[in-house]
Structure 1
Amino acid sequence: MISIHDERIQKYLTPYKYTRPVLTGSGIKGAFDEQAVDIPFVFWHGGLYHMLYTGFDGTGYQSALAVSDDLLNWKHKGMVLTRDLDSGRWDGIGGAATWMIKESDSLWDIPKLKKVDGKYWLVYHSYPGMGYEDGPAQIGLAWCEDEELLDWHRLDEPVFSWKDGEEWEAGGLYKACVIEHEGLWYMFYNAKNREARWTEQTGLATSRDLLHWERCRENPVLRVTEGAWDERFVSDPYVVRDGDMWINFYFGLGPGHAQEGLALSTDLIHWEKADSPILTHGKPGELDCTHAHKPSMLYADGRLYHFYCGTRPWQEGDPAKIYQEFRTLCVASDQPFTQGEHMHRETLKNVTFEEG
């Protein structure tokens, strides 16, 4: 275990939280994000910051893009993965998009998209049943040639499934991130077992072509720690590089709260975890007083941004509600936000996208 005070990890810490949500569910009846938003993935494309994110409407997940010019104020751009119940597809109920293939795996490079075989690629997972994460999910890929990133084509079948996995992942697969290193694709994913009070841990699979994956023999490569703050979940990997060191920002769940953690590796297989959360849940009433989890990292203009999903009990006036909870997207940083940044301002006045 690495001490949270270890000098090696101080530059990765983001203790300063923005006090407003950066994106919320709409609360609009029938909208894809009627009840909640979730799972941010932030990158730069076409002259604007983009956020890939998921919405929940009571039936299942669907995914969209939002854009920003300052990383704090975001506007919905359009849908990328929608529902098609009549298709008969394995992912007809919808998809939770979690990752897009990037040009660089360095933490200190602004994330930009990389084309593979002339296409942009998106990673998502889909559940077989209607409702909140109903049934064991599988992982799929979608591709896009459209520079607006709105015309996505899903592969016909999952590229990675729990069906040929082990007991620890037999309950289904969740968020995956994909990086390339020395000509090999690495997919980190979290999965759950079948127990009623289940455990989630993080596995690794590798591929030469993004389509055929081989599990690491040492799976799960990031495991829960008995009696620790992450004793039930080690989930939602976000893997980046800092020189010769690999960093995995993840979330852990222990008694009552999900919080963000960090692990280091020199070979992408053997990981050493920090002994405490690097981003804790908030105080009562704050946006993340229940959970602070599901990281997406971005370094820009000398500042490290840490996007995540925050949850707290629903309050009168909140725009959306899922199971008596307000689930929203938040951001923290390695530097304090100024008073002006905390004040709302209108942005993107001259940018028009589809509504929804």
Structure 2
Amino acid sequence: MNITPYLTPYKYGRPVLTGSGKPGSFDSSAVDCPFVFRHLDRFFMMYVGFDGVGYQTALATSGDLLNWEPYGVILERNGSGNWDSKNVAGTWMMRDNELSGPATLKKWDGKYWLVYHSYPEDGYEEGAARIGIAWSEDERLLEWHRLPEPILTPETGADWERGGLYKECLVEHDGTFYLFYNAKNQNTPGWVEQTGVATSNDLANWTRHAGNPVLRVDEIGWKRGFVSDPCVLRNGGEWVMFFFGYDYRKAEEGVAVSADLLRWEAHPDPIVPVGAAGELDETYAHKPSVVMHDGVLYHFYCAVRPSREDDPASSNNGREFRTIAVAASRDLSRERSASSGASTNEEGPE
């Protein structure tokens, strides 16, 4: 397995997007789950904000992939009492499949499509999440319409996914839609998360793959607890899945390859490891979103370290700083020295 095209050894070393820390804001405590793409000659990042009550989803924009500005909240809690009224965590919009492609969105039936998950209770990921889908005809990407019912639920799944369904990745290939997702086997501490796939011809009716989970945990090692948050793209004749592994202490990014989107082989070692003590990703380097621009591969991820007094936001009862970071296939120090930093006043560790 040649993983050289997928390596991004140069970490930017500071956040590209942080929680606002503003009381009442959707992202007052943290930001999470980046999904980066290109639209209307700009880069966009869809991301999740947490305010201590639940998840909501927003967009930010950038001209250079390093400096990001908030654009607008697109999926809000709505108090409707529906299955997705308390949490709305958007994770993927259907886009160009190619790793080296433009990373632009693509339409089906004249619409853009977005997949998300929702937890049933207030709080941090409380209860067994379900997966939903939304569509938009708004070129500003601000107005989205959610289908009234979830498209996948844990109750209809196998034992490995009965605890809840999470981070989604939607791929269209040769007229078939592939929905990758990770799920956990139980809702009590010590659960196991693995990755499966379902297919559809119409985005509404889905069939789980009989061979699920397609990416499984190991008995020992850095991915013995989770193999989660799939980011699936195509590179020439092979498909590549970026994901993270978790051993109940730290989370690190990995990579797997496939010829047919159903049978996957994971590389044995992490490709984006956690950082040293005090660095931005000391605890977790996880939840990938990967794009290429001007020949440079950018690997966005959620970085977590213990919180500090001067952090703009903190979550987990004030114990952690959870933010969006990036690593690249080229050293970005020159860009960093010329840039003004993140979209807040957080500088982060160098």
Question: How many angstroms does 1:71 deviate by?
Answer: 0.3
Residue in 2 that maps onto 1:64:
58
Distance 1:28 1:340 in 2: 29
Alignment of 1:1-356 (within 5 A): 8-85=2-79, 87-102=80-95, 104-194=96-186, 195-323=188-316, 324-345=319-340
1:199-226: CA deviation from partner (whole Å, max 9, x where unpaired):
0000011000011000111000100011
In structure 2, give the amino acid aligned to 1:75.
E
Percent sequence identity over matched residues?
54
Distance 1:149 1:346 in 2: 26
Give the TM-score normalised by the residue count of structure 1. 0.93
Aligned length: 340
Give secondary structure in 2 for the equivalent of 1:339. helix
Give secondary structure in 2 for the equivalent of 1:286. coil
Give secondary structure in 2 for the equivalent of 1:246. strand
RMSD between aligned residues = 1.3
Question: How many angstroms does 1:105 deviate by?
Answer: 0.7
In structure 2, give the amino acid aligned to 1:236.
D
Contact kept, 8 Å, 1:19 with 1:342, in 2: the verdict is no
Distance 1:13 1:346 in 2: 24
Contact kept, 8 Å, 1:83 with 1:93, in 2: the verdict is yes
Distance 1:347 1:320 in 2: 13
Contact kept, 8 Å, 1:129 with 1:135, in 2: the verdict is yes
Distance 2:109 2:177 in 1: 14
Distance 1:347 1:282 in 2: 19
Contact kept, 8 Å, 2:16 with 2:341, in 1: the verdict is no
1:162-221: CA deviation from partner (whole Å, max 9, x where unpaired):
110011100000011011112111111000011531000000110000110001110001
1:304-352: CA deviation from partner (whole Å, max 9, x where unpaired):
000000000001110000021000000000111133424542899xxxx
Distance 1:321 1:338 in 2: 27
Question: How many angstroms does 1:255 deviate by?
Answer: 4.3
In structure 1, give the amino acid aligned to 2:326.
V
Give the TM-score normalised by the residue count of structure 2. 0.95
Distance 1:187 1:156 in 2: 18
Contact kept, 8 Å, 2:17 with 2:342, in 1: the verdict is no
Instruction: Give the direction of change, closer, same or farther, for the CA distance of 1:330–1:346 in structure 2 (3 Å limit).
Output: closer
Distance 1:303 1:346 in 2: 19
Residue in 1 that maps onto 2:346:
none
1:126-168: CA deviation from partner (whole Å, max 9, x where unpaired):
0000000000000001111111100111111101111100111
Distance 1:115 1:204 in 2: 21
Distance 2:35 2:300 in 1: 8
Instruction: Give the direction of change, closer, same or farther, for the CA distance of 1:17–1:155 in structure 2 (3 Å limit).
Output: same
Contact kept, 8 Å, 2:256 with 2:266, in 1: the verdict is yes
Residue in 2 that maps onto 1:351:
none
Give secondary structure in 2 for the equivalent of 1:289. coil
Distance 2:114 2:298 in 1: 22
Distance 2:206 2:245 in 1: 26
Structure 2: state its 5+ residue gaps.
344-350
**Runs of 4+ residues over 3 Å off in structure 1:** none
In structure 2, give the amino acid aligned to 1:35.
S
Question: How many angstroms does 1:244 deviate by?
Answer: 1.4
Contact kept, 8 Å, 2:75 with 2:90, in 1: the verdict is yes
Residue in 2 that maps onto 1:3:
none
Give secondary structure in 1 for the equivalent of 2:3. helix
